[in-house]
Every structure is written in C-alpha cells, then in structure tokens.
C-alpha cells in the first residue's frame, strides 16, 4: 500500500472544463492589465519568457522584453496553446489570487475528493500535489473549493520547477523531496505519458478517467480508476 498519494489536478481532482473554461479565460482577460501594472517586478519571468521564445518554433512574432504589451501578447499565446510554461503559470497564479480574494473565483473539485482526503488522512497517508500550475495556484485552488478548504490535508506541492511532468527525473526529485521510496508513492493522473514517466522510476500509478476527460490515445497501460474511492488504502 502506498504511504504517499501524489495527485495531478486537471482531470484528476478537478474538471478539465473548470481549468479551460474558467481559469484560463479569467487570466487571459486580465493579462495585459496585470503585466502593465506589475511590469517592474516581473524581471525573472520576462527573462524566462525570452529564453522560451528563443526555442519556440510555433510563435514567429518577436517578443520585445521592454514592452508590457508585447510580453502580455506572448503570454496570451502560451495560454491559448496550453503551454506548460513556468513563467506563464507563475503570472496566472497571481492573477487568480486576486480573483479568489475578490470572490470572483471559486474552484471545483470532484465530489469524491474531500471524502477521499479525509479517509486517506485518517489512516496516515500523506497527500501531495504535482501540477503544471504554480504552487501558488495549487494552494489557491484547494483553499477555495466548492467543498471548502482542503489544504489542511495536503502536505506538499510540486510544480514545473522540479521539471516537466513527462520527465522521469522530475519524479526522482519528488521522491527525494518527500523522503519516500518511489515504490511507496502512488501517482494519479489523467495523462498516460506522465504515468509512464513516474512508473519508470518505480512509482505506483493510476489513470484517472473522469467525466469530461478526453479519450486517451492508446489502451490503458495503468490501473484505471473513475473515483478516488477505488484506491485501496
């Protein structure tokens, strides 16, 4: 039995539609104004964006790192193509923070999630999150759900600062940070390529098949679950 349950968010704890039809449009609509208002404090993110743009074969328009409008336009492009970009996710998280604070945003989790968190916690399981969204965005999402604040049950959060979710080395880093053997960690995600990477370093894995999730491009290679209630503890 795993001692740590590591969870993806989109399509695993939270409906994909909430992310794509609520969170992403909310950030996009406010991106230009946010970048303009906070441009002087975004130096690290802008430097990362310039490096990312230099490798970007899908966006031919140059980025002017001295222009808030140009930076915002590139950020919105990354938002539109759902790029797992660390600087984008960092800025999105700050915009969402304002939305949660104002009450404009309230996050959604699947109905089985709070009960599972309580049950896992009651038997001593540690719950951790690994998402392409920033740690800030993860914490905000679980703090302001339609089922209340779930953060007291979550011990650790990981984002793309540890590496890409399809990179096996990311899972080695997570296991080390959790001070756990890979075989003691169950990773749950709706993306088989992420599960493949985790399994390659010894993690236990489960494929999340939720209402609203897209079809996988191949037959399941992992244990398939439709509810967290199916996870044996």
All domains of the chain in start order, with CATH: 4-16+108-230 (3.40.50.1000), 20-102 (1.10.720)
For 155-176, the pLDDT digits (tens) are: 999 999 999 999 999 999 999 9
DSSP state for residue 56 in the 8-state scheme: -
pTM for this predicted structure: 0.91
What's the pLDDT at 219?
Answer: 79
Q: To the nearest whole percent, how much of the chain has pLDDT over 90?
A: 92
Burial 157-177 (b: 16+ CB within 10 A, else e): bbbbebbebeebebbbebbee
What's the pLDDT at 214?
Answer: 79
Q: How confident is the model at residue 94 (pLDDT cuts 50, 70, 90)?
A: very high
3-state secondary structure of 129: strand
For 96-146, the pLDDT digits (tens) are: 999 999 999 999 999 999 999 999 999 999 999 999 999 999 999 999 999
* C-alpha to C-alpha distances, 89 to 48, 171, 232, nearest whole angstrom: 12, 20, 33
Mean pLDDT confidence for 181-189: 98
């Amino acid at each position: 039995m795993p001692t740590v349950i590591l969870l993806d968010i989109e399509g695993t704890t939270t409906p994909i539609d909430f992310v794509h039809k609520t969170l992403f449009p909310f950030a996009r609509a406010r991106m230009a104004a946010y970048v303009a208002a906070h441009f002087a404090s975004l130096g690290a993110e802008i430097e990362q964006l310039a490096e990312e743009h230099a490798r970007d074969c899908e966006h031919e328009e140059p980025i002017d790192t001295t222009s808030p409008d140009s930076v915002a336009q590139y950020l919105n492009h990354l938002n539109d193509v759902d790029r797992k970009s660390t600087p984008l996710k960092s800025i999105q998280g700050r915009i969402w923070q304002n939305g949660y604070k104002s009450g404009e945003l309230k996050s959604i989790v699947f109905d089985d999630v709070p009960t599972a968190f309580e049950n896992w916690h009651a038997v001593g399981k540690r719950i951790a999150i690994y998402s392409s969204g920033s740690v800030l965005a993860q914490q905000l999402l679980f703090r302001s759900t339609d089922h209340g604040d779930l953060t007291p049950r979550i011990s650790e959060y990981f984002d793309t600062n540890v590496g890409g979710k399809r990179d096996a080395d990311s899972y080695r880093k997570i296991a080390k940070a959790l001070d756990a053997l890979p075989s003691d960690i169950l990773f749950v995600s709706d993306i088989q390529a992420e599960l493949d990477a985790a399994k390659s370093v010894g993690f236990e894995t489960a494929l999340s098949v939720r209402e609203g999730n897209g079809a996988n491009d191949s037959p399941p290679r992992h244990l398939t679950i439709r509810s967290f209630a199916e996870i044996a503890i």
